[in-house]
Structure 1
Amino acid sequence: MRTNVLARTLVGATAVLGLAAGGLATAGTSFAASAPTAKTAVSAQDLSVLATNNFGLSSQQAKNIQCFLRTSPASYTGAIDGQLGTNSWKAFQRWLKEYWSYNDSIDGDPGPNTIKALQRMLAFGWGYTGSIDGIAGSGTKAAFARLANEDSVFYPC
């Protein structure tokens, strides 16, 4: 008899705990986050196409750079839109490879090696006096703006 009472007590207690746990698990479903929606995967290459890096240049200054790249051996064929994106930086990397010892891939990413070559160029004639460190700091940006403002460098687009 004791076994039956003990068994019923355990079964009853287990049932109560199970119901309570189930109730707690479903009690907040009306407040739960909605089901996640499917998202399209974006590759790093897709993002690089969308990225622009004018290094502090105004839209007009960036257009000047693009005009220069179009008329130079860099072979820029993109839009003159004032946004130095992947295609602009690929053309700039071709220019830097040809004349300023750029030795990395032509990938359109203005990373440290691109910036070092740019700094070598800017040190030659646009007043950059900082170290060739691959960091586009204020000195690099100021010299880049001087390049972008120089009328003798740009030809009509």
Structure 2
Amino acid sequence: MYGYKGAFDGALGAGSWKAMQRYLATWPGQPSPYKGKIDGVVGPRTIVALQANLKKFHGYTGALDGVAGSGTKAAFRRKAYSNPAV
């Protein structure tokens, strides 16, 4: 999905993050779309867009600060495990 072409290996590499950036930029209902370069680099813009998504859909309660702290990581785990296996 979202242009991911790599192996389903459970690793979050650049290809995974490029797909996530595309998702965060274009998914209908995304509360704070990602507006950066689709480069697979997990920088503050990627994290802010991810945090906005996690806040709306997966119980993240922290600030949209671009820092992947423990609350962001816990909500990201909830998001990852809420989707069926491919």
Give 1:82 deviation, angstroms. 1.0
Higher helix share: 1
Q: 1:104 aligns with which of 36, 52, 64?
A: 36
The question of 1:123 aligning with 2:55 is answered: yes
Amino acid at match of 2:18: K
Q: 1:90 aligns with which of 4, 18, 23?
A: 18
Give 1:75 deviation, angstroms. 2.2
Runs of 4+ displaced beyond 4 Å = none
Q: Separation in 2 of the partners of 1:111 and 1:117? A: 10
Q: 1:81 aligns with which of 1, 5, 9?
A: 9
Deviation digits for residues 111-134 of structure 1 (CA, Å, limit 9, x no counterpart): 100000000000011100000000
Tell me the C-alpha RMSD between the 2 structures: 1.1
Which runs of no fewer than 5 residues in structure 1 stay unpaired? 1-69
* TM-score normalised according to structure 2 size: 0.89
Q: Separation in 2 of the partners of 1:136 and 1:89? A: 14
Which runs of no fewer than 5 residues in structure 2 stay unpaired? none
SS for the counterpart of 1:95 is helix
Equivalent pairs: percent with the same residue? 52
